[in-house]
Amino acid sequence: MSDCLLEMYNISKRFPGVWALRDVQFSVTRGEIVCLLGENGAGKSTLMKILTGVLPDFEGAIRFEGRPVRFRNTREAFEAGISIVFQEFNLCPNLSAMENLFLGNEVRARWGFISRRRMREKAREAFQNLGTAIDPDALVKDLGVAQQQMVEVAKALAHQTKILIMDEPTSALADAEIQNLFAIMRELKSRGISIVFISHKLREVLEISDRIVCLKDGRNSGEISSREATEDRLIALMVGRELDQLYSQRRGGPSAEVALEVRNLSGPPMIRDVSFSIRRGEILGLAGLIGAGRTELARLLIGAEKKTAGQIFLKGRPASIRHPADAVAFGIAYASEDRKREGLVLGMTVRENATMSIHGRISTRAGFIRRTGENDIADAQIAKLQIKVSDREQIARNLSGGNQQKVVLARCLAIQPRVLILDEPTRGIDVGAKAEVHKIIGDLADQGVAVLVISSELPELLHLCDRILVMHEGRLTADLPRERASEESIMKAAVA
């Protein structure tokens, strides 16, 4: 029997007005970890949706285990042995982690009744194998982004599979969780299971994959063995040109004027006695392990959670922020780490999403939105952020993940913020788009905006920020200027 498990020939897929894929070739051998690489919108997710039956209407042919196949739905692909962990969660938020794990494949007792006891045991074992302590009975909607991602991974691994597709599985995981996941992937590989790994994190790509297949603009742009690959070569394959650097360099620096000051801030569920300040034109990083309280702090700052103690000052004056609308009124913009649930209204247009926070500014006295002003603002943000859309009326749901993230940034910039809080702003964004976002952040800081960047990627913080705060268990444990910050010093403070 041939070692070639999967062959996809001349795969093409057209959506209204655009070719998502054109004559793409892709193959996987048994027990191989193949990385599928490319910029946002290159066609990676579309190719995998074709393979898994999400998009059964396409041109081309697929051979799986030596025979031609065309999966009509995800159930057929799953039964054939193909599982996928999508970048955007595919979970039922009002069900428990255990129920999501076995949805459609419930464990039954002798008389056919569902055995919740056995499912709970199996779920606890699955989570323990991933090195995460998730309560099987916890509702998914009450779990953090990282925990939801781990439920997705466990859901795929809980069943027999021949090919496991992982679409950005590490985007919300801490370093220890990523290494644990990689250990599991290597174990699966040793058992002959093949893995298709989609990631924008080039270090991870080079560390875990055997072979790298790159797509650009819906076409094959190159293939290379991981042993022969370098970050520079992969970037050139992805974007079609060399990038001198991934991270933008600041032209100016922060002023002496304090834009935002926080004194002894405490609040649910874990923030305790946090004090810091950020100056105009400063890019302040916020680091810490998953669960350290970074997002919780941001939500307190914008009034999404009610503080129990402490004060917030803007330009030296006390600011009463009890609701996100108050934050907007004070010139504080916030981009959530979860763009699907908190950053966008997916069924609305790019225009509507980009301007939803400034209706008061673009409305008549009678409350009607001035469409001309709204269009002008949306068009300006689309051009500034280079959002790839057919026009401003395109529905946000139909954009790639990276372009959806840019629409979230467009909404923030439309506020004309004095303080901009970005929670994982480049999560799930390719290297080219990441460089663009970093340039935008640098330009805003040079214009006097105070920017707070929350990121799990330490190289990003070290190259982008003027200063880095570190959190551990709801408290600040370090305040490091750029010249004293390093991955080692940040991690030391993060586990203190």
DSSP 219-261: EEEEEEETTT--HHHHHHHHHSS--S-SSPPPSS---SSEEEE
Residue 248 lies inside a defined structural domain of this protein? no
Region 79-108: mean pLDDT is 85
Number of H helices, E strands in the chain: 16, 20
Between 422 and 431, residue with greater pLDDT:
422
244 domain-assigned = no
Whose tokens are 């949306």? That residue is: 378
Distance CA 322, CA 17 (A): 45
The Cα 327–Cα 421 span in angstroms is 11
List, in sequence order, every residue forming a beta bridge with 452; answer none if it has no partner. 284, 421
- The arithmetic mean of pLDDT across residues 195-207, rounded, is 90
CA distance 243 to 105: 47
Assess whether 287 and 399 both reside in one domain. yes
Nearest to 283 by CA among 317, 318, 249: 249
Q: Do 147 and 262 fall into the same domain?
A: no
Amino acid at 329: A
Q: Is residue 26 part of a domain?
A: yes
> Which residues are registered as beta bridge partners of 9?
61
Beta bridge partners of 265: 274
Total domain count, the chain: 2
Predicted confidence at residue 50, as pLDDT, reads 95
Does residue 249 lie within any of the structural domains? no
Buried b (16+ CB within 10 A) or exposed e, 336-361: bbbbeeebbebeebbbbbbbebbeee
What confidence score (pLDDT) does residue 88 get? 66
Helices (H), 137-252: 145-157, 175-190, 202-208, 231-239
Query: Residue 69 pairs with which residues in a beta bridge?
Result: 62
Over residues 407-413, mean pLDDT: 91
What is the distance between the alpha carbons of residues 38 and 431, in angstroms, rounded to a whole number?
9
Instruction: Show the tokens assigned to 191.
Output: 């058992």
Alpha-carbon torsion (216, 221, 227, 229), positive or negative? negative
Question: CB of 168 within 8 A of CB of 107?
Answer: no
Are residues 227 and 268 both part of a single domain?
A: no
Per-residue pLDDT at 420 exceeds 50: yes
Q: Are 441 and 458 in contact (CB under 8 A)?
A: no
- Contacts (Cβ under 8 Å, ≥6 apart) of 166: 84, 85, 153, 156, 185, 195, 196, 197, 198
Residue 397's identity, in one-letter code, is R
Residue where a domain stops, chosen among 208, 239, 270 = 239
Tell me which of 239, 268, 289 is where a domain ends: 239
Question: Hey, what are 147's tokens?
Answer: 């925990």
Same domain for 232 and 314, yes or no, is no
**Does 246 map to a domain?**
no
| pLDDT given at position 199 | 86
Q: Which residues pair with 420 in a beta bridge?
A: 333, 451
Is the domain of 196 the same as that of 230?
A: yes
Give the count of alpha carbons within 13 A of 271, CB side only: 24
Residue 241 reports pLDDT greater than 80: no
Q: Are 474 and 292 in contact (CB under 8 A)?
A: yes
Average pLDDT value for residue range 249-268: 86
156, 185 in Cβ contact below 8 A? no
Instruction: Output the pLDDT for position 250.
Output: 56
SS3 17: coil
Same domain assignment for residues 222 and 311:
no
Same domain, 269 and 232: no
186 falls within a domain:
yes
Return the beta strands (E) in 354-449 as ranges: 419-423
Asked if 74 and 204 sit in the same domain, the reply is: yes
Q: What integer pLDDT is reported at residue 25 of this predicted model?
A: 97
**CB-CB contact of 97 with 148 (8 Å):** no
- Provide the pLDDT confidence category of residue 249 given band limits of 50, 70 and 90: low
Q: Measured between alpha carbons, how far is 98 from 116 in angstroms, rounded to an integer? A: 9
Mark whether 205 and 323 lie in a shared domain: no
Write phi, then psi, for 464 (nearest 5 degrees): -95, -35
331 residue type, one letter: G
Quick one: pLDDT band at residue 299, thresholds 50, 70, 90?
A: very high
Highest mean pLDDT among 240-249, 263-272, 390-399: 263-272
- Is the alpha carbon torsion for 90, 95, 100, 103 positive or negative? negative
pLDDT in tens, 346-358: 899 999 999 998 8
In a domain? residue 140: yes
Pick from 426, 173, 144, 174: which is nearest to 295 by CA?
Answer: 144
Residue 290 pLDDT > 80, yes or no?
Answer: no
Asked whether residue 475 is domain-assigned, the answer is yes
Give the model's pLDDT for residue 319.
Answer: 94
SS3 293: coil
Residue with tokens 């707070």: 452
Residue 405 parent element (H or E): helix 401-414
Q: Please tell me whether residues 201 and 264 are part of one structural domain.
A: no
Work out the pLDDT band at 496, boundaries 50, 70, 90: low
* pLDDT recorded at residue 1: 40
Q: In whole numbers, what is the pLDDT of the chain averaged over residues? A: 88
Q: Which two tokens stand for residue 406?
A: 């840019």
What pLDDT score does 172 carry?
67
Residue 248 has pLDDT above 70, yes or no: no
Query: What is the reported pTM?
Result: 0.64
Last residue of a domain, one of 239, 271, 291: 239
Residues 230 and 264 in one domain: no
Give the residue-averaged pLDDT of 433-441: 84
Q: What is the pLDDT of residues 43-85, one digit of tens each?
A: 888 999 999 999 999 999 999 999 999 999 988 998 899 988 8
Q: Provide the percentage of residues in the chain whose pLDDT is more than 90.
A: 50
Residue 34 tokens read as: 């193949």
d(CA 377, CA 391): 13
Q: The domain that contains 69 carries what CATH number?
A: 3.40.50.300
Q: Bigger pLDDT: 42 or 327? A: 327
Any idea which of 63-72, 124-133, 378-387, 473-482 has the lowest mean pLDDT?
124-133
The token duo for 110 is 């002798």
Task: Provide the domain limits for residue 447.
Answer: 258-494
Give pLDDT, residue 495.
75
Residue 5 has pLDDT above 90, yes or no: yes
DSSP alpha helix (H) spans, 85-144: 97-101, 116-129
47/172 same-domain check: yes
The answer to whether residue 90 scores a pLDDT higher than 80 is: no
